[in-house]
């Protein structure tokens, strides 16, 4: 297994709450998929879950070495869970093609959040025997 990169992010939950208050549905639709919105809204402290997904997507952009630049769309990366509750990343849209083109096999993430902050870490894993180009 070869790792292309790691990424981490931390965000204040109040910042996400402000963006939701200010931009409402337009903000949610730009950043989150339909099932992420449903998941977050199904929790009492939904802002924490929205903030954790914001941090996760920022961490993903960082582990790919792109930051804010590049062809990636926020909603191309959907955070779901396996049967044990472990978060996993589903990649769609043009980002899926892009990740294939640079031989990324998988992105692993971990999230944590409390009332004030949410944080995430992401690791981009390269296909066996492939060498990811520098992005
Ligand atoms: C997983 C666990 C360690 C999370 O720790 P926590 O301090 O409560 O919460 P944190 O803010 O640090 O982490 C929350 C995130 O952990 C992640 N998580 C949940 N289950 C996980 C698992 N099995 N493996 C890895 N990550 C997990 C999720 O991404 C969650 O955020 P999300 O719901 O927004 O996606 C804890 O919930 C646990 O031990 N769960 C197992 C027992 C259990 O599920 N009990 C259910 C009680 S109703």
Give pLDDT, residue 130: 73
Whether residue 133 is contained in a domain is answered as no
Least trusted range by pLDDT, from 10-19, 40-49, 75-84, 123-132: 123-132
Residue 132 included in any domain: no
Nearest-Å Rg of the Cα atoms of the chain is 15
> Has residue 135 been placed in a domain?
no
CA of 70 to the centre of ligand 1 (A): 31
Using one digit for the tens of pLDDT, what is the confidence trace for 22-64?
A: 999 999 999 999 999 999 999 999 999 999 999 999 999 999 9
For residue 134, the model assigns a pLDDT of: 58
70 located within any domain: yes
CATH number of the domain residue 72 falls in: 3.90.470.20
pLDDT for position 117: 98
- Residues 53-95: tens digit of each pLDDT: 999 999 999 999 876 666 789 999 999 999 999 999 999 998 9
Average pLDDT in the 95-105 region?
92
In this prediction, residue 68 carries a pLDDT of 64
Q: Which of 111, 117, 118, 121 to mutate to test the pocket of ligand 1 (most atoms within 8 A of CB)?
A: 111
Residue pair 100/93 in contact (Cβ under 8 Å)? The answer is no
Residue 80 lies in a domain: yes
pLDDT value of residue 63: 94
Closest protein CA for atom 27 of ligand 1: 86
Q: Which domain holds residue 45?
A: 2-126
Q: What DSSP letter does each residue of 29-75 carry, written as one string?
A: HHH--HHHHHHHHTSTTHHHHHHHHHHHHHHHHHHTT-TT-SS--GG
Q: Is the pLDDT of residue 135 over 60?
A: no
């Amino acid at each position: 297994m070869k790792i292309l990169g790691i990424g981490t992010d931390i965000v204040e939950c109040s910042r996400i709450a402000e963006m939701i208050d200010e931009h409402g549905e337009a903000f949610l639709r730009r950043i989150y998929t339909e099932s992420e919105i449903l998941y977050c809204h199904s929790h009492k402290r939904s802002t924490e879950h929205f903030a954790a997904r914001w941090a996760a997507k920022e961490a993903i952009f960082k582990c790919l070495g792109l930051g804010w630049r590049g062809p990636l769309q926020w909603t191309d990366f959907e955070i779901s869970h396996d049967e044990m509750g472990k978060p996993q990343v589903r990649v769609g849209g043009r980002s899926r093609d892009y990740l294939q083109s640079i031989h990324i096999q998988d992105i692993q993430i971990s999230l944590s959040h409390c009332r004030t902050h949410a944080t995430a870490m992401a690791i981009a894993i390269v296909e066996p025997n492939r060498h990811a180009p520098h992005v």
